[in-house]
Structure formats: C-alpha cells, structure tokens
Amino acid sequence: MIKLIFKSFYMGCIILIILAILGCSQITGKAVGVPQESAKNPEVYFCPETDCSKIFEEKIESADFSAHCAFYDIDLKKVISALARKSKTADVKLVIDSDNYEGQIKGEGVRMDDGKQLMHDKFCVIDDGIVLTGSFNPTDNDNNYNNNNILVVYSSWLAQNYEGEFQELWNGEFGKGNRVKHPVLKINSIKMENYFCPEDDCAFRIANLIKDAKSSAKAAFFTFTSEKIADELLKAESRGVDVSVIVENRQRNAKNSQYQRLKDFGMDIKLDNNKYTMHHKVLIIDGKIVVTGSFNPTLSADTKNDENILIIHDEEIANRFLEEFGKL
C-alpha cells in the first residue's frame, strides 16, 4: 500500500514537472508571426512612360552572386545582353514559356516549360534580396507600346517566396508546387501578401478582397473571364461600393469574357483606348490595397498556368496605381 501511494505520488510529480516545463516553454518560447524587416520601400514604375527595360537591366547588372528570372516572353536585346554579361560573374538562370522561346537566349542557364500550360510568370530574384515583378514582359512591345507596371521590392522574405517558385520551375514542376512559404509579410510598415497560382488559389484571394471592399474597387484587366470575380464585383456594387473596370479592347469578345455581362448589369466598365495593348492585371481596393502581378482573372490562370500575385496594403502605392488607372 505504501509502495502504491509512493508510486502514485512519484508519477504525479513527474506529470507536474512535465506540465511546468511545457507551460514555461509556452511562455518563454518565441512565437512564429508575420515576418518583418526594415528595407528600402518598394518602387513602382509604369511603362511605356518609364523605360522599364532599364529597370531590369540595372537590377540584373547590380547582382553580386545571382539573378534568377522567369519570363513568359523576352526579346529586349538590352535585357538579354545584361543577363549574358552577368552570367560570366554570377549564377544567372532563366525560365521561359516554351511557346515564346525562339533561341533568343541560349546556354545551360536557360530552361523552358513543358508546354502543357502557360508559364506566365514575370519576375526576377536578385541576390536573394530583391524581387522585380508585375505585368511587364521584357519585350519591345511591353516596354515601348503596352501599358504595364513593375514593382521592385527589397525583401529577403519575399525573395524566399519567389526563389522557391523559381526553383520549382527550374526543376520542371509546372502548373503545381508547394504553397507559398510566407504568404503575409511586412516591409517597414507596409503589409504585403504573396501567392502563386494554381497552388495558392489566387482567384479566391482576390474575391475575398472584393468581398471586404468598403468604398471602391477599381480594376484594369488585360483579359477578364472569371465569373467568380465578376460576381463579387457585382455584389460589391449592389452594396454601394464604387466599382469601375477597364478591359483591354481586343479581349472584350474573348470566350467567356465578362465585359458584356457586366455592361448589361449597368456596371461602369470601359474598354481601353491604347491602340496597342492595355496589359495591366491590377485591382485597387478602397484606395489603399493593390493587387498586381502576372494573373489575369481567368480560369486557366487560376487552375492551370504558373502565375503570381502581390497584394500591397499601402495607401501611397495605391495612389500611384490610381493615377495610372485615371490615365487609362
């Protein structure tokens, strides 16, 4: 009996010690939260008024040890030359969509997708600390004639995300992959979200932003066939949100285009008047949140193609995009 009581007391003490240790670890352990860092604020550029080619050239040439890029298309000679020169002193790798590869850049540092979907990304990761992304392909048309945007973001956390996506592409994982490592992060006081399609369900993320819109939703889409996103814009308008949409003129009659449908519902939707191409994929919510990247609101972009989106919660950056929207 004494042995039994002692054994119970002994086991009870062990349990209390374990609970105490676990309790202490919960109190003193470092919680995993939103990654945050201090860095230069993001830079925003719009083409063709800005020479976007020069932005890419300068960042590639500034690389100390690596420049990894994924482009749906590329033909700008100066960007190609910058990549070629930098490959002599740094690790330069490039993934191109197979439909647009015409031997314009060659070597062991170049790979193409498998042709089963579009490798529609447009980004570069420089020295694991700088990300260039947006709607811009380094082509003569996108640089000199089409409406496009570039974001330059100085962030090691964001670079980890894009480098992870790049490595999947480089290793032949197209139209699939792991979920993004750091979906939410902060640079200085700026909150950002980052997602890759199809693995991160980009249409779902964008639809939720529209659901939460309080005052306005301004969109400029090269092509717009997503019924899910169109429905959310209609719902937003019905609850009093100021909704305005611009669609590329040549895409208004694309299969499943939402242009005529939204126009028939009375929405303020217009066609662009650039005689070349309005190539943005931009959504501005409440004048303080911007969505940009390679993602057009289409079923293929959401479920099949390799795409990326960046969501920036910053009024100053949103104002820059609102100015561009107003010009369009």
Q: Residue 275 catalytic?
A: no
Instruction: Note whether 309 and 207 are same-domain residues.
Output: yes
Query: Does residue 100 fall inside a structural domain?
Result: yes
Query: Does residue 7 fall inside a structural domain?
Result: no
Query: Does residue 32 fall inside a structural domain?
Result: no
Instruction: Note whether 234 and 283 are same-domain residues.
Output: yes
Instruction: Note whether 206 and 179 are same-domain residues.
Output: no
Q: How many CA atoms lie within 13 A of 285 on its CB side?
A: 21
DSSP string of 137-169, one letter each residue:
-SSHHHHHTSBEEEEEEE-HHHHHHHHHHHHHH
From first to last of its 328 residues, the chain has per-residue pLDDT tens of 334 333 444 444 444 433 343 343 333 334 458 999 999 999 999 999 999 999 999 999 999 999 999 999 999 999 999 999 999 999 999 999 999 999 999 999 999 999 999 999 999 999 999 999 999 999 999 999 999 999 999 999 999 999 999 999 999 999 999 999 999 999 999 999 999 999 999 999 999 999 999 999 999 999 999 999 999 999 999 999 999 999 999 999 899 999 999 999 999 999 999 999 999 999 999 999 999 999 999 999 999 999 999 999 999 999 999 999 999 9
Query: Does residue 65 fall inside a structural domain?
Result: yes
Instruction: Note whether 323 and 211 are same-domain residues.
Output: yes
Instruction: Note whether 55 and 179 are same-domain residues.
Output: yes
Q: Which residue has the tokens 């191109």?
A: 96
Supply φ then ψ for residue 105, to 5 degrees: -150, 130
Query: Does residue 30 fall inside a structural domain?
Result: no
State how far the Cα of 51 lies from the Cα of 58, in Å rounded to an integer: 11
Instruction: Note whether 224 and 174 are same-domain residues.
Output: no
Instruction: Note whether 206 and 296 are same-domain residues.
Output: yes
Query: Does residue 11 fall inside a structural domain?
Result: no
Instruction: Note whether 128 and 215 are same-domain residues.
Output: no
Q: How many CA atoms lie within 13 A of 185 on its CB side?
A: 22
Catalytic residue among 279, 280, 288, 304: 279
Q: Give the CATH number of the domain where residue 277 resides.
A: 3.30.870.10
Instruction: Note whether 148 and 262 are same-domain residues.
Output: no
Domain end marker among 192, 216, 232: 192
Domain end marker among 192, 221, 243: 192
State which amino acid sits at residue 183: P
Instruction: Note whether 41 and 166 are same-domain residues.
Output: yes
Domain end marker among 192, 217, 245: 192
Q: Residue 201 catalytic?
A: no
Give the residues across from 196 on adjacent strands.
Answer: 308
Query: Does residue 22 fall inside a structural domain?
Result: no
State how far the Cα of 176 lies from the Cα of 167, in Å rounded to an integer: 12
Domain range spanning residue 315?
202-327
DSSP string of 199-235, one letter each residue:
TT-HHHHHHHHHHT-SSEEEEEES----HHHHHHHHH
Instruction: Note whether 207 and 188 are same-domain residues.
Output: no
Catalytic residue among 68, 120, 281, 304: 281
State how far the Cα of 185 lies from the Cα of 285, in Å rounded to an integer: 19
Task: Give how many domains the chain has, as a whole number.
Answer: 2
State how far the Cα of 3 lies from the Cα of 74, in Å rounded to an integer: 80
With CA atoms as reference, report the closest residue to 171 among 68, 101, 73: 68
Instruction: Note whether 208 and 237 are same-domain residues.
Output: yes
